[in-house]
Amino acid sequence: MAWTRDDMAARAARELRDGFYVNLGIGIPTLVANYIPDGVSVTLQSENGMLGMGPFPYEGEEDADLINAGKQTITELDSSSYFSSADSFAMIRGGHIALSILGGMQVSEKGDLANWMVPGKMVKGMGGAMDLVAGVKRVVVVMDHCEKSGAPKLLKACSLPLTGAGVVDLLITELGVFEINRGKTPVRLIELAPGVTLDEVKAKTEAAFEVAL
Amino acid sequence: MVDKVKSTAAEALAGLLFDGMTIMAGGFGLCGIPENLIAAIRETGVKDLTVVSNNCGVDGFGLGILLENRQIKKMVSSYVGENKLFEQLYLSGELELEFNPQGTLAERIRAGGAGIPAFFTKTGVGTLVAEGKEVRDFDGELYVMERGLVADLSIVKAWKADAEGNLVYRKTARNFNPMMATAGKACVVEVEAIVAIGELDKDGIHTPGIYVDRLVKGAVFEKRIERVTTRAREAVGENAAAGVEI
């Protein structure tokens, strides 16, 4: 049994360390907040200008002036702070955020990430993704192992326009976990999801990788 | 003394608008957008605008109403995914679009307002964003040069102001507003309340009045929410993502 979306989020949550300031992307990365390990306290940054994101509000208590980067209503904590977009990205680009967990379209064995545009389709924009991968100390990508067509997404080189070159530290898919190390060392498969075979991973992966299970 | 406080959004914008101008508009999504000033700009019909704003509103609200009225020629944004009309106009070639990474956009505006014509950042190195731009090695790392950004007019939404133009924003409605206030040749601000001089905490002012040329108390604040997301009452103690989008 390959991992579910929630399993992948729970695995990504194991990358959190006590005291980390963390930025979570949209999609599966948002679910990571549900799996923060016991004894680990992290501060969630929202790049639209908040540190210390609280849970979603109760119905009737939504505040139009309080949203996350996915434009969802959220709440504040006693420890929260607000700041401008320039201050927010100074945190991100200045290397003050310990960990970013993002979705991906393609990852290459060189540590490149593509997650913002598909040529020929309407492009929505990169938002803060290019800043996050360029500035955050450790970048974890959570994505499906293959496209719906079955085409691999862990590649020798990305075919889509890049979000960042040599920026991915760790990749989590429904099949397992890969150490990418920003392309500085060969890709290593370090975990397999339960019931997933090495042969299956090899068949569904274009990138070269070492096995270090 | 110059009276910065105007009685209507139209009056606050009077004499500042012209075809082909560049306007910066604060806000992130629909949060912290100058909705009254946008509506007043629509009424004037001023056109061929270049609008610098992180997003472009939604169909029927925010900057979306200027798109509907075909007043925008070009957008400079980081993300425009919430607007169907935008997509139509872009794909048909009626609308130009320049994407900036969100942090680069914020810093370009901050730099512009601070008189800094250009800066170097790691963001975008090795991507389409860096094409045609100077890339330089500093201490063994590559950085791309980005230009500071200024506009003919910035339109800003704050929470409270005094007649001096000192501004306080509220929660995540701050976003791009403080930088934009500094980067417009003229800066017009709409607020929810204008309080007496002396009432704002002087240590808590986010934008000092020097940046603000005109000020208006907004007539209506619809403050639409793009994605109302809530959690169930019984789910006490669950974490941030355990919500339901309505």
DSSP label of B31: B
Tokens describing residue A86: 């320039």
Percent of chain A with pLDDT over 90: 94
pLDDT at A111: 98
Query: A58 and B233 in contact by Cβ < 8 A?
Result: yes
Identify which of B175, B224, B229 has the shortest CB distance to residue A49.
B175
pTM for the model stands at: 0.96
Average pLDDT over residues A17-29: 94
Mean pLDDT over the full length of chain A:
96
pLDDT band at residue A26 using 50, 70 and 90 as cut-offs: confident
Tokens describing residue A211: 């096995």
Q: Where are the domains of chain A?
A: 5-211
Percent of chain A with pLDDT over 70: 100
- B235 has pLDDT over 90: no
Query: A57 and B225 in contact by Cβ < 8 A?
Result: no
pLDDT at A123: 85
Nearest to A204 by CA among A133, A155, A143: A155
Percent of chain B with pLDDT over 90: 89
pLDDT of A153-200, one tens digit each? 999 999 999 999 999 999 999 999 999 999 999 999 999 999 999 999
Average pLDDT over residues A123-132: 95
Catalytic, A59? Answer no
Tokens describing residue A47: 């790049």
Identify which of B80, B124, B227 has the shortest CB distance to residue A71.
B227
DSSP label of A11: H
CA distances B81 to A104, A148, A194, Å, are 17, 22, 37
Cβ(A53)–Cβ(A74) below 8 Å? yes
DSSP label of B51: E
Tokens describing residue B24: 């910066």
pLDDT of B209-222, one tens digit each? 999 999 999 999 99
Burial tier of B134 (Cβ tally within 10 Å: 0-12, 13-18, 19+): exposed
Cβ(B31)–Cβ(A48) below 8 Å? yes
Burial tier of B202 (Cβ tally within 10 Å: 0-12, 13-18, 19+): exposed
Measure in Å the smallest separation between the Cα of A137 and chain B Cα atoms: 13
Q: Which residues are within 8 A (CB) of A127 and not within 5 positions of it... i.e. 6 or more apart? A: A47, A69, A116, B78, B79, B101, B102
Q: Look at the domain A5-211 and name its fold.
A: Glutaconate Coenzyme A-transferase (3.40.1080)
Spell out which residues of chain A touch residue B129, defining contact as CB-CB under 8 Å. Answer: 126, 130
Partner B, chain A 143-202, Cβ-Cβ below 8 Å: 161-166
pLDDT of B18-52, one tens digit each? 999 999 999 999 999 999 999 999 999 999 999 99
Average pLDDT over residues A65-81: 96
pLDDT band at residue A141 using 50, 70 and 90 as cut-offs: very high
pLDDT at A157: 98
Any idea of the CA torsion for A23, A50, B120, B55, to the nearest 10 degrees?
Answer: 90
Partner A, chain B 125-164, Cβ-Cβ below 8 Å: 125-129, 159
- B131 has pLDDT over 80: yes
pLDDT at B243: 59
Cβ(B99)–Cβ(A125) below 8 Å? yes
- B82 has pLDDT over 70: yes
pLDDT at B245: 60
pLDDT at B241: 53
- A115 has pLDDT over 90: yes
Closest residue in chain A to residue B243, using alpha carbons only: A56
Task: Please state the ipTM of this predicted complex.
Answer: 0.96
